């Protein structure tokens, strides 16, 4: 039954007892800059070192953000005793080897999405982290946004009844360039791993692992998936997902159940708003607005504080986005990519 009032989000408020971890960043690109800025402005966490194969690049990144140490190799960062956790923001083809090296050095890891290029790589990283007793988590920031907390409560309370349909879409118009990482298969390029992963994880959060995956799409001349449409079957429910690097799409999402529907405004994977209404035609609509002050990429702070809280609790993985689920999501992506490549 649709509630008369929506629940308050359970958010990862900074300075709420979590340890102030010391972070090292590997791969000082655009998203790493957004992440470091969010940590500095909105968390109790501190970036103490940054590493790149280009020392000049690391030094510029560090100077812009007041980071103490800039290094010209991953090994040099991993040797620093003051680094507690490593945020990995390299091209996804480097995620698994860098994460494995960090784990072997006894560091906790936060790995940008996609966690790895394949489910087999993700399983290897998860196994290594569990054996070493260190924390490992995919940086799927959407799971830690206030809207995700509200959604989890609504689903747990059965507000929508039996979920029958999940729709999600993520497309961006990326101009082709032979050197662009998204058009290079050796770097883990393509729409599904970089953009579609958001839609797949959304469906997974609501419905779990699918019983069957059917995917159709088309490939670029460089050999990556440019566009894909997926149908995920979950018994009596289906998830219909779409992703593309050939066009900008609405990036909206919805969940429909026997008792009601939730519609997320685009981009659904960012801090956003949603509406919820009962299944009966003409039912009143409730609007949810994020009550917190963090907007845009400032909201990357939520996942960093979540990681610190989980580490402080003695956990070795996120209860909101487990390693097993991360592997399952990549199994879905593996299957979809293979079907699209096969035509």
CATH of the domain at 174: 3.30.360.10
SS3 170: strand
Say if residue 165 is in the same domain as residue 136: no
Q: What is the pLDDT of residues 59-98, one digit of tens each?
A: 999 999 999 999 999 999 999 999 999 999 999 999 999 9
Domain membership of residue 160 as a residue range:
148-293+322-342
In angstroms, the CA 29 to CA 45 distance is 19
Residue 193 forms part of a structural domain? yes
Say if residue 78 is in the same domain as residue 174: no
**H helices present in the chain, as ranges:** 30-42, 55-65, 74-78, 95-104, 119-132, 146-156, 191, 197-207, 300-312, 323-342
* Percent of the chain residues past pLDDT 70, beyond the cut: 100
* Cβ pair 202, 166 in contact under 8 A: yes
State how many domains the chain has. Answer: 2
113 is catalytic: yes
Of the three residues 101, 125, 142, the one that is the final residue of a domain is 142
Say if residue 176 is in the same domain as residue 226: yes
Backbone dihedral region of 315: left (phi > 0), alpha (psi from -120 to 50 degrees) or beta? beta
pTM of the complete model: 0.96
Of the three residues 107, 142, 177, the one that is the final residue of a domain is 142
Say if residue 200 is in the same domain as residue 136: no
Say if residue 28 is in the same domain as residue 90: yes
Q: Which residue ranges in the chain fall short of pLDDT 50?
A: none
Say if residue 281 is in the same domain as residue 182: yes
Q: What is the pLDDT of residues 95-138, one digit of tens each?
A: 999 999 999 999 999 999 999 999 999 999 999 999 999 999 99
Residue 1 forms part of a structural domain? no
Residue 184 forms part of a structural domain? yes
Task: Return the CATH number at 115.
Answer: 3.40.50.720
Say if residue 212 is in the same domain as residue 109: no
Say if residue 105 is in the same domain as residue 180: no
Say if residue 330 is in the same domain as residue 191: yes
In angstroms, the CA 1 to CA 9 distance is 19
- One of 42, 107, 108, 113 is an active-site residue; which one? 113
Say if residue 111 is in the same domain as residue 210: no
């Amino acid at each position: 039954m649709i509630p008369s009032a929506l629940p308050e989000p359970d958010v990862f408020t900074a300075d709420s007892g979590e340890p102030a971890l010391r972070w090292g960043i590997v791969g000082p690109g655009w998203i790493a800059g957004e992440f470091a800025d969010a940590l500095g402005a909105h968390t109790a966490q501190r970036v103490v070192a940054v590493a790149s194969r280009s020392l000049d690049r690391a030094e510029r990144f560090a100077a812009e953000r007041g980071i103490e140490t800039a290094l010209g190799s991953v090994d040099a960062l991993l040797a620093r005793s003051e680094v507690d956790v490593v945020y990995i923001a390299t091209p996804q083809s480097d995620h698994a080897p860098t994460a494995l090296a960090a784990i072997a050095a006894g560091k906790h890891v936060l790995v940008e999405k996609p966690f790895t290029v394949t489910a087999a790589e993700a399983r290897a990283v998860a196994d290594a982290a569990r054996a070493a007793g260190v924390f490992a988590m995919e940086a799927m920031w959407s799971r830690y946004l206030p809207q995700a907390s509200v959604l989890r409560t609504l689903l747990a309370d059965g507000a929508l009844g039996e979920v029958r349909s999940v729709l999600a879409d993520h497309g961006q118009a990326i101009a082709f360039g032979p050197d662009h990482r998204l058009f290079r298969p050796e770097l883990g390029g393509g729409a599904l791993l970089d953009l579609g992963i958001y839609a797949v994880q959304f469906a997974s959060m609501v419905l779990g692992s699918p019983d069957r995956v059917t995917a159709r799409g088309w490939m670029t001349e460089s050999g990556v998936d440019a566009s894909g449409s997926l149908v995920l079957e979950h018994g009596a429910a289906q998830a219909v997902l779409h992703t593309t690097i050939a066009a900008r799409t609405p990036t909206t999402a919805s969940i429909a159940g026997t008792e009601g529907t939730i519609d997320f405004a685009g981009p659904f994977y960012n801090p956003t708003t949603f509406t919820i209404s009962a299944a009966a035609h003409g039912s009143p609509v409730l609007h949810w607005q994020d009550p917190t002050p963090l907007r845009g990429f400032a909201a990357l702070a939520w996942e960093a504080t979540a990681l610190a809280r989980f580490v402080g609790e003695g956990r070795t993985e996120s209860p909101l986005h487990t390693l097993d689920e991360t592997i399952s999501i990549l199994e879905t992506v593996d299957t979809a990519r293979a079907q699209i490549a096969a035509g």
